[in-house]
Amino acid sequence: MTQAQTLAKGDILAEDTHLITRESLVRYAGAAGDFNSIHYSDQAAKDAGLPGVLAHGMLTGALALQTVIDWLGGDSTRIRSYETRFTRPVVVDASAGAKVVVTAKVGKVEDDSIRVDLVVKCDDTTVLGKTQATVAR
């Protein structure tokens, strides 16, 4: 983004769809060291009273932030802060997976930064709340 670009509150910056599969969960578990069985075992999820195998919350949050990084042309050094709230689980079907849709909008424009507000949904249900990234201009 150049200084010449004019951004206004509400402008859509990016929209991405991320497919989370059971394989994604295994890979993430290995990278993060989070091997909780609710992230790979239907029986463990059922025993815990869950609707199915759940994506790691941090994986969902990372995919949302990736949308901002991609909009920044891959320059993650411009990210000053990031916050989110885990509001609903992402259930990952064994065959279909789960599609997480991220919409990044301008929340606030300041002289030296932009607040990017993210809407993160799975099956038309918001799964992350108050998800915001502040990026340097």
Tell me the pLDDT tens digit for each residue of 26-58. 999 999 999 999 999 999 999 999 999 999 999
**Per the domain annotation, does 4 fall within a domain?**
no
Query: Given this model, what pLDDT does residue 3 score?
Result: 43
Query: Given this model, what pLDDT does residue 2 score?
Result: 45
Number of domains in the chain: 1
**Per the domain annotation, does 51 fall within a domain?**
yes
Closest CA to 107 of 14, 6, 1, 8: 8
**Per the domain annotation, does 20 fall within a domain?**
yes
**Per the domain annotation, does 55 fall within a domain?**
yes
**Per the domain annotation, does 68 fall within a domain?**
yes
The pTM of this model reads 0.91
Closest CA to 61 of 33, 4, 20: 20
Domain that holds residue 43: 12-136
**Per the domain annotation, does 1 fall within a domain?**
no
**Per the domain annotation, does 80 fall within a domain?**
yes
**Per the domain annotation, does 29 fall within a domain?**
yes
CATH number for 123: 3.10.129.10
Question: Backbone dihedral region of 73: left (phi > 0), alpha (psi from -120 to 50 degrees) or beta?
Answer: left
Tell me the pLDDT tens digit for each residue of 1-20. 444 478 999 999 999 999 99
Torsion over CA of 65, 66, 71 and 72, rounded to 10 degrees? 80
